[in-house]
Amino acid sequence: MRRMFFLAIAAAIFAAAAFGFQNRGTQGGRGQQPTPNADPYANNAAPGATQFPLAAPAGKDSNAFNVAPPGAVNQGAFDPLKWKYGNAFDAPAGSKIWNPVKLKMMQGGKVTGGTLFNSTDPAIYCAMANAGYDFIWTEMQHDTRDWGAVGRMWRTCPDAKAVPGVRVAYTDEREIQHALDAGALVVVVPTVDTLEEAIEARNWAYFPPLGRRSQGGGQAFDASMWGNVPGGYRNTINDNVVLILMIETLEGLKNADAIAKVPGVTAVFAASGDLGNFSGYRQTTPDYERAINIVHDAAIKAGVRLCGPVAWRDRPDFTCFQAGSEVAAITRGVAAELGPLANTQAKPEVGPFAQPRR
């Protein structure tokens, strides 16, 4: 009997905990969505009574491929090339841009992105995001972080001054959709060599009809991130996302004009390091400068923004910049804070600190 009594108590506690957990999503916390539930009728007001008047009859071919239901906009045989996209996801009339980076770019201002190179600490990310940059360039091409760590940092301070941005590893559905579903508002795509790669990057960065991004959810849709933006996230994000494509190779230079003209591209980035790496010439040499100017000309002809390292902030027509890493920012900040007191340590004659230190 005692064992049965304890089992009953344990079951009651478990049920109470489960009930409390299921209800957390609907109580407090900036209007969070209900906790996901595997029950197909969980959010159905009338279980078992829902009618589907336009559904195909049970066990019968409805001939929907060739014949549209009455009242459908798209009549005749189904043809994706002739499909008239619906207005279910139109932005509300008079919608305004809510991404400050996109707005600043449209206004012609100079945009800066501070580079979070290797930290996974939300406190460091939030400090960087409130330090004065326009967006944070979270590095995912040259670092070993996972998307879980990135998502945790971004959702810690979504209202920081700098919006979440990221350089993904490559032009890929998984990479770009992970970034956007986690809340990125600026996406930088490296080593774009061809028109086809540019279109691929655009496709995964935008929802239809411009792109092919899947509406699968993610924390970007949550009220704690962008779920409550004016006009709604799904309906307005296509107008607010910033897509930057990097030209880094000789092949990319060859196709720079076509890459920059792809609809949906916000800016092209003249990669200062890799254009030297792939061309074999250093900055300031004529061959190197020719490569940079090819990217410059492509941006001007396409009417898109032109990006580069922050050292080029005074270079003609460059209005978008990648700034230094968190390590560089800490070093510069300490030097600025201490002024003449910086690097004035005493120099012992013996011991480990007697040797010159780098």
Out of 27-31, 57-61, 80-84, 176-180, pick the least confident. 27-31
Question: Mean pLDDT throughout 136-162?
Answer: 93
Tell me the C-alpha distance between 247 and 295, whole Å: 7
At residue 303, the 3 state secondary structure works out as coil
Reference 278, options 265, 295, 262; nearest CA is 295
Tell me the C-alpha distance between 69 and 242, whole Å: 39
User: DSSP assignment of 190-255, as one string?
Assistant: ----SHHHHHHHHHHHS-TTTS-------GGGSTTTTTTSTT-HHHHHHHH-EEEEEE-SHHHHHT
On the question of pLDDT at 42 being above 70, the answer is no
Which pLDDT does position 358 carry in this prediction? 63
Which pLDDT does position 198 carry in this prediction? 98
Which pLDDT does position 33 carry in this prediction? 53
103: amino acid identity, one letter: L
pLDDT band at 151 (very low <50, low <70, confident <90, very high): very high
Tens digit of each residue's pLDDT (9 = 90 or more) over 63-118 = 999 999 999 999 999 999 999 999 999 999 999 999 999 999 999 999 999 999 98
On the question of pLDDT at 1 being above 60, the answer is no
Reference 267, options 136, 110, 128; nearest CA is 110
CA distances from 70 to 50, 52, 63, 82 (A): 21, 15, 13, 18
On the question of pLDDT at 27 being above 80, the answer is no
What burial class does residue 345 get, using C-beta atoms within 10 Å of its C-beta: 0-12 exposed, 13-18 middle, 19+ buried? exposed
User: DSSP assignment of 65-91, as one string?
Assistant: TT-PPTT-SS-SS--GGG----STTPP
Tens digit of each residue's pLDDT (9 = 90 or more) over 265-289 = 999 999 999 999 999 999 999 999 9
Higher-confidence residue: 134 or 22?
A: 134
Which pLDDT does position 83 carry in this prediction? 95
pTM: 0.83
CA distances from 265 to 61, 200, 214, 261, 306 (A): 43, 11, 19, 7, 11
* Percentage of residues in the chain having pLDDT higher than 90: 73
Tens digit of each residue's pLDDT (9 = 90 or more) over 232-255 = 999 999 999 999 999 999 999 999
